[in-house]
Structure 1
Amino acid sequence: MATLPAAIRIAQTVGITASAFCSGSILSISFLSTPTWLIAPSPILVRQWQLSFDRGKIMNPAIALVSIISYGYLSYKLYGTLNHPKAEMYGLSALVTFGIWPYTIFGMMSTNRKLLKKHDEMRGSDIGEKATEVGLAKGDSTKELVDRWGMLNLGRGLFPLVGAVLGLWATLS
């Protein structure tokens, strides 16, 4: 078997590592941060969510983009044609990893908007529960919204995870 050029090996390593890291980052928020946030009073809870949201919307899409570019490069450069199985696998890795954007826009945006509105409403509130949190329709309290967001975020984290598995499979097969 011929040795692959260093650029190909680097792209494989970067693509797999970046999509796995992105998935880990996203999933850790749902598995570790969200349950911790939910024990806080709503004004603190929504501030914590907002801080993570702001950091995550900068970091995770950038990491996913690095992965997508790496997989796209591999699909195009190494195997050259779309009828080659590895080209399709790397292309699929890129496409699945890209799925975090439409999933976020179509699956999570309404919850994001509600939480961003809660953050604005509670800006400057003390650490106690805000009076407007009482008597809301089911599913509209800050805690219910953050809990729902955490579950939706689990789904988002699966996209780059599947991309990493497909990229690894293409690399090792």
Structure 2
Amino acid sequence: MSTHAPTPVPSTLRAVQATSIALLTTTAGLSASTSIFVVPRLMELQPRTLTSQFVRAIQSAHRLLVVPLVLPGFLNAYLAYRLPAKARLYALAAVLTFSNLPWTRAVMMPLNRKMERLNADPDGSENAHEVADKWATRNLYRGVVTFVAGCIGLYAALT
């Protein structure tokens, strides 16, 4: 009868796992809450005020959330390298995390730039509500994918 016990994970790797899971789940909530709570309140404003507040909110989020959204991708890639038995799970979590980068560049940035143009043009804010609505809907991808990556990381850490 074999009493093969799993090899314990070093505490440094446990810290990396915990950091990645915490960052992914926290930023998933922050990202989704922007779409679910912030943008709907902005939609209640007049177009000029909407564009101004939207641009300010996005600039603030960009300054605060880029590192917490990207760092877990590197942490999960590192975990995939260091923990070969869980490599596929951590690699999947890393790929999902990094998928936010092309999504942001291809889908979100054009909407951000459009809102900035509307904000700069005193007469051009007539479709600001439409742009904000599109942004909020498309931003949900980031929250969902980031949350799924966090859940995969949690599953890998616990199994």
Deviation at 1:116, TM superposition (A): 1.1
State the distance in 1 between where 2:125 and 2:134 align. 16
Q: What's the Cα RMSD here?
A: 1.5
Matched residue type, 1:162: V
Corresponding residue for residue 30 of structure 1: 35
Identity of aligned residues (%): 26
Residue 20 (structure 2) aligns with? 15
Deviation at 1:156, TM superposition (A): 2.0
Structure 1 residue runs without a partner (length 5+): 123-129, 135-140
Matches within 5 A, 1:1-173: 1-79=6-84, 84=85, 86-122=86-122, 132-133=124-125, 141-173=127-159
* Alpha-carbon distance between aligned partners in 1 of 2:136 and 2:89, rounded to the nearest angstrom: 30
Shift of 1:133: 4.6
Deviation for aligned residue 1:160: 1.0
Structure 2, unpaired ranges of 5+: 1-5
State how far apart, in whole Å, the 1-side matches of 2:103 and 2:125 are. Answer: 28
Amino acid in the other structure paired with 2:91: G
Matched residue SS, 1:15: helix
TM-superposition CA deviations, 1:51-96 (whole Å, max 9, x none) = 11111112222002221122112111122xxxx4x11110110110
More displaced, 145-154 or 61-70?
61-70
CA distance in 1, matches of 2:57, 2:143: 15
Q: Residues 90-110 of structure 1: CA distance to partner in whole angstroms, max 9, x if unpaired?
A: 011011011111111112232
Following TM superposition, the consecutive aligned residue runs of length 4 or more in structure 1 with deviations greater than 4 angstroms are: none
TM-score (norm 2): 0.90
Distance 2:29 2:64 in 1: 12
Q: Secondary structure of 2:121's match?
A: helix
* Distance verdict in 2 for CA 1:61–1:95, change over 3 Å: same
Count of paired positions? 154
Q: Specify the SS of the correspondent of 1:47.
A: helix
- State the Cα distance separating 1:5 from its structure 2 match: 0.9
